[in-house]
Structure 1
């Protein structure tokens, strides 16, 4: 794998991406390492064997994580004519998809909160806690939808 900077620096950066994915999204470290590597590798397509070797992952673990990442649309398989190897590439809009899913989940919480308010009787401290959560999440969703990322 070629890339920007030396191999040790690249691997440190990949590990930082993995740590972020673990802490912020509760993803397994290997999933974060795959995403980090796919963002920085040059050329942008890399084989499963190259990924496994670079991040020191077992093929079985790598296979299940690649299946997951392709199923959710963050990574895609790439075929090269005349080459039997399958390569992987991070989708150009992968991060937009991640954020959009988070925004959609914030909207879904609104329905859950409405149901909780009704269940709690519509007033009292427990109802106010539900409304506070709903207002905070709605506020965050509204900010993000008013100011979408520039692509």
Structure 2
């Protein structure tokens, strides 16, 4: 592989899903679960790249972000057991890889975390005086919970290794009921809302695209949910059409706003906008500048906040976008 998943020939699916879309959607899923989007993007990239190890500089170039973003994310991932550091003789650069059993590695790392939490609770208990009953109850609860989870965790890891051995042997391993619940979206709330999960029959964001560029439905809807677009569309349509603001072209404008939102919230630069978003980097930057000059971002955030039909999570997301736009405008990267 060339190392650039946005230009690497790929066996795309019928709906245009490719390696680049996998990387972006993995990042958004991790973000929705409370982790960093960059962490998910790095894991996804290393899962689908065919090279044995990748340097920090190569990750930054491939994912089109700063070296600092890569450094922070890889440190977190290595500490959690997702990444393995790889030393290359004679080179000072840091290299990273993922094991074939990356999730088993995470389970092993999580066991260490549970053990550390238990020991921390025990040390805190030793600080308490004889009359401090309330904190003693809470810290005992913390210690006992970590101890209890560790027991189930050991069993879970053993069951995973047994399942893995059957799978590698080519057997049709029976899926445990709890595993089936996870696969069907019963855990972690994965399901059918606009901010994530599976959206059968949902329409992808249309608009002017470069050849072969297709943006996955889940990724588009997560960046710009229908409720937010419904509030943004009339605000954009009210702007006097110019070469910079563009005309009110419905789905095409939604594609441009989605691309701008990605740049603002992902940490990448305008020239690093992936092809599958459709609009060219220069077009996205022109729209951002014109919309900023017209005061679109705070007006949009205010309109969303005053709309009783918009969910709280979407209100918060719109505020984050407006805040990122203000930061980019006043001193961020261009």
Measured against the shorter chain, the TM-score band is 0.5 to 0.7
Consecutive unaligned residues in structure 2, runs of 5 or more: 1-7, 89-94, 165-334
Deviations 1:89-142 (A, max 9, x none): 422243323221221121122222222223224662221111111222211111
**In 1, are the aligned partners of 2:84 and 2:98 still within 8 Å (CA)?**
yes
Instruction: Verify: 1:11 aligned to 2:11, yes or no.
Output: no
Instruction: Verify: 1:98 aligned to 2:106, yes or no.
Output: yes
- CA–CA distance in 1 between the matches of 2:86 and 2:127? 47
Alignment TM-score, normalising by the size of structure 1 = 0.64
Alignment TM-score, normalising by the size of structure 2 = 0.34
Which residue in the other structure is 1:55 paired with? Answer: 63
- CA–CA distance in 2 between the matches of 1:26 and 1:57? 17
Which residue in the other structure is 1:82 paired with? Answer: none
- CA–CA distance in 1 between the matches of 2:24 and 2:134? 43
How well do the aligned residues superpose, as a CA RMSD in angstroms? 3.8
**In 1, are the aligned partners of 2:39 and 2:74 still within 8 Å (CA)?**
no
Matches within 5 A, 1:65-76: 68=75, 74-75=83-84
**Aligned-residue offset at 1:144:** 0.9
- CA–CA distance in 2 between the matches of 1:4 and 1:50? 23
Asked which structure has the greater CA Rg, the reply is 2
- What secondary structure, in the 3-state scheme, does the structure 2 residue paired with 1:104 have? helix
- What secondary structure, in the 3-state scheme, does the structure 2 residue paired with 1:119 have? coil
Larger mean CA deviation between 48-57 and 113-122 belongs to 48-57
Of residues 125, 128, 141, the one that matches 1:117 is 125
Cα distance change on mapping 1:16 and 1:95 into 2, 3 Å: same
**Aligned-residue offset at 1:21:** 4.2
- CA–CA distance in 1 between the matches of 2:121 and 2:138? 10
Instruction: Verify: 1:64 aligned to 2:64, yes or no.
Output: no
Which residue in the other structure is 2:146 paired with? Answer: 137
Counting strand residues as a fraction of each chain, which structure ranks higher?
A: 1
